[in-house]
Amino acid sequence: MLQDKDTTGFHSGGWEEPRATAVLVLQDGTVLEGFGIGAEGEATGEVCFNTAMTGYQEILTDPSYAGQIITFTFPHIGNVGTNDEDIESVNAASSSGVRGVVLAATITEPSNWRASRDLDAWLKARQIVGLTGIDTRALTALIRDKGMPNAVIAHSPKGEFDLAALKAKAAALPSMDGLDLVPLVTSTQRFDWNETTWTVGEGYGQQQAEPRHHVVAIDYGVKRNILRLLARAGCKVTVVPATATADEVLALKPDGVFLSNGPGDPAATGEYAVPVIRKVLEEKIPTFGICLGHQMLSLAVGAKTQKMHQGHHGANHPVKDKTTGKVEITSMNHGFAVDPATLPANATETHVSLFDGSNCGIALTDRPAFSVQYHPEASPGPQDSHYLFDRFVKMMDEGKAKA
């Protein structure tokens, strides 16, 4: 704002710059100043960028983002507000896995008939620290060039920051390599799920018909819509924690086992997850994995995973299904990938990214098991990938027929 005029009629000062109330401090010491939104305080995490134009509430409640700070490349985030239905974490009352959020434009008033709260208030309620008013294109370009950096995001309404301390904290943060973040987001006890998909005017449904199959879903950070699609496909769904033993899974007598999405380094989670999966495969139980579950299945058969330079985060990723030749527009969220060169002879690569050629799916030739790196339940296509749930059901049908 302009300061008061002096007696000559001219302004005695110049423009008064608005004071920054939030900062993003990268591990290399770079400081980006903006204006705070959401919760006050500090949060730490790995900074990634997401290219989705819609679905920000689902993204911010996706347990797979545990330990990360999300930069949205689309400038206008928050214009449809938030509601109580578009939450992906199973425990709606729990804190979000995501640590922080970075936006370009200021959050506007919500303008959607489903909105029950504006995004800023929602971020505060979920204790997510946010920052707006920076050039997210420049930050995205930095991530593309240098990879995903660790950072500290801080929000202080008074604009008071100890930058030296923040830089030291950012520089000392551990790499995502070797981090098992699943314990932060997995369920703590077994439960059943029978909610089905959403329809206009009715909301989410409940399973009515007698389920055809019993699916045990191992929860590494499962998303609600995955469970809904399994229920809609005629499956009785029992969700078990990531720490469930093979004996506990097999005692439920599943017709199929689902391996869910989740955060962190798959090799670290695999220390306790892989032995369970190997036992399931030995029993030749139909198995379907998504995202981290895809990586877990791959590790279980002897493949390796590797950290990606910038990861895949967005709702516009083209993936080719090599078994049909079709191209799907998919939703992705992963910072690690399966190295296709390490796949064993009994694992066939079924899907591949058309952005960078990275592996996006496998199927076993000697066991009824398959998995994909992307999220078929997220519906960016919008239903390009729903056939995978039908493929899983067919596999269970065939398993019962052979039995």
Q: Tell me, what's the pLDDT at 7? A: 45
Domain end: 151, 172, 193, which one? 172
In a domain, 16, yes or no: no
205 and 281 part of one domain: yes
Can you say whether the dihedral through the CA atoms of 389, 217, 316, 350 is positive or negative?
Answer: negative
Report how far apart, in Å, the C-alpha atoms of 203 and of each of 82, 84, 85, 114, 298 are: 15, 11, 8, 11, 36
In a domain, 77, yes or no: yes
262 and 340 part of one domain: yes
In a domain, 33, yes or no: yes
Encoding tokens for residue 26?
């990268």
Asked if residue 358 belongs to a known ligand binding site, the reply is no
Domain end: 172, 202, 232, which one? 172
Asked if residue 225 belongs to a known ligand binding site, the reply is no
Asked if residue 264 belongs to a known ligand binding site, the reply is yes
In a domain, 275, yes or no: yes
127 and 229 part of one domain: no
> Total domain count for the chain?
2
303 and 392 part of one domain: yes
The model's pTM: 0.94
Q: What percent of the chain has pLDDT over 90?
A: 89
Q: CATH number for the domain including 301?
A: 3.40.50.880
Q: CATH number for the domain including 49?
A: 3.50.30.20
121 and 148 part of one domain: yes
- What does the pLDDT average to over 216-238? 97
- Domain residue limits at 390: 182-401
Burial 48-84 (b: 16+ CB within 10 A, else e): bbbebbebbbbbbbbbbbbbbbbbbbbeebbbbbbbe
Identity of the amino acid at 355: F
Question: What digits encode the pLDDT tens for the residues 159-198?
Answer: 999 999 999 999 999 999 999 999 999 999 999 999 999 9
Question: What digits encode the pLDDT tens for the residues 231-260?
Answer: 999 999 999 999 999 999 999 999 999 999
Q: What percent of the chain has pLDDT over 70?
A: 95
- Indicate which residues carry an active-site annotation: 291, 375, 377
154 and 202 part of one domain: no
The phi and psi torsions of 102 (rounded to 5 degrees) equal -125, 125
Q: State how far the Cα of 249 lies from the Cα of 238, in Å rounded to an integer.
A: 10
Which DSSP letter does residue 347 get?
A: E
